[in-house]
Amino acid sequence: MDVEEALEFVDHLALTTTGKHLDSLQKAILRGAWDNQKYKEIAQHHNRSEKYVKEVGFKLWKLLSVALGDEQVSKANFRAKLENLQASNIVSLVGNGCIHIGNISADSSQSSKKLQSEPQQKNKFNEKTSNSKPKVHLDLADAPEPNLFYNRTSELTTLENWILGRTRLITILGLSGIGKTALTLQLIPQIQHEFDYIIWRSLRNSPPLASLQTDLIKFCRGGAPVPAPSVPAPYPEERATTGGLPLLEYLRSHRCLIILDDIQTIFSSQQLAGNYQPGYENYGAFFKQITESSHNSCLILLSWEKPREIAALEGENRPCKSLQLNGLDLEAQEIFREKGLAEPEKWSELIDLYRGNPLWLNIVAILIHDLFGGSVSEFLSYDTLFLGDLESLLQQHFDRLTASEQQAIAWLANTPEPADISKIPENLQLSPPELLKVMQSLGRRSLVETVKQNGRSHFTIAPVIREYITNKK
């Protein structure tokens, strides 16, 4: 086996496991490992930091380790492992769009249309015949390209424990750019062998529930068409059937992990958080059915705001839970290293101002590099907080607010200290019950922060949001 055959093999492995081909840096790491190069050499050649290359490499070795069963693949043994697997007849690649690698079997036509145009692979390796774990069928075609993942060990542990504890519905909440997608992509390799099917779908185009269910059932049926129901289903959420079987029956007969991204697109703007657009109310019944019905599958929702049903369904000892994803702490410093910023002693102040949001920090780090020569102190010397490209991102969130929410958040923006909502100013034309509803909605949108003062809850907003509101006046 030479390095090109090894790259081709791992590329097919990555495609069927993640739905994505290897990128240029991943290939460079594999070539470097094959030739026994150090991470520092690979990083210098590709103008990346050594730490970043190590992190990408770590994820790559983990993917290989999981996909090959109990094999512990690392940079040091990558070449030897693949050569031994070939010599020991442990792994096989077969044609017809299907790949069998250790304990994974995946229909790559479901993961990538590009593979359909590639030549079918002939048996380069013989199939592993013993000690195989159950096959995992993945369809990650809708999943975005994974970005750099920053350390979120506690969040990963929490999610893994919930899944192992048979939680049926998990909602991961947070503002755009906070890392919901990156966290979930990192979770998949850790828990994939708990499931028979793993499916990622984005709701960015707001598909009707029946269309989504039909699509999910089709994958569970191996791509076979979904026939019309033999008997009309009594409930709207059961109309996507095959031979009379609703989606729920597949979730009972197989252990499925379904990830639905961009949930906020099915909610109405200018209404309180979590209210559905007309015609999409049946999603709420679907989420409730997933939580309350008996099955061993799991549905993960990624959203800017919490569906209104979730608050009533979740609880410590209930099969529905929510994870509010907050910003990074010291881990965010890697962003500044990548961008070549100076004065590390100032980085923590920058992280706090932008609340550790990875996307926000990337945007401001590029600005500091381009306009201030990497000097953080020069950037911080300005009286106003720079927003730039953040304004368009924040506008998407503020376009969804009701008039009452806009009033309340403007009040918080003009209150330097955390506000006590029991003391409503006269110019805020909201009754106490109305204000409570509004503050709850803003919290479900991740736009307000709660702090405790003298045993009472007070509310404030992030400096970036305060600056955005001030600039809009």
pTM score of the predicted model: 0.70
Assess whether the region 153-324 and the region 392-472 belong to the same CATH fold: no
CA dihedral for 6, 7, 11, 17, sign (positive or negative):
positive
Protein fold of 392-472? Arc Repressor Mutant, subunit A (1.10.10)
Where exactly are the structural domains of the chain? 3-128, 153-324, 330-386, 392-472
List, in order, residues 6 or more apart from 351 with CB less than 8 Å away. Answer: 327, 328, 329, 330, 332, 333, 361
Q: The tokens 């060990």 sit on which residue? A: 153
Cα-based torsion angle of the residue sequence 367, 371, 376, 381 in order, rounded to the nearest 10 degrees: -110
Torsion sign over Cα 357, 363, 364, 369: positive
DSSP string, 255-320: -EEEEEE-GGGGBPTTSSTTPBPTT-THHHHHHHHHHHS--S-EEEEEESS--TTHHHH--TTSSE
Number of CB atoms found within 10 A of residue 153's CB: 8
pLDDT in tens, the chain (473 residues): 788 888 888 888 787 777 678 888 888 899 998 888 888 888 877 767 777 788 788 888 888 877 776 557 888 888 887 777 766 554 444 333 343 444 444 444 444 333 333 333 333 333 333 344 557 788 888 888 766 677 788 899 999 999 999 999 999 999 999 999 999 998 998 888 889 999 999 999 999 999 999 999 988 876 555 555 444 444 444 444 333 458 888 898 889 999 999 999 999 999 999 999 999 999 999 999 999 999 999 999 999 999 988 888 988 789 999 999 999 988 888 899 888 999 999 999 999 999 999 999 999 999 999 999 999 999 999 888 888 889 999 999 999 999 999 999 999 999 888 988 888 887 888 888 999 999 999 999 999 999 888 888 899 999 999 999 988 86
What's the CATH architecture for 153-324?
Answer: 3-Layer(aba) Sandwich (3.40)
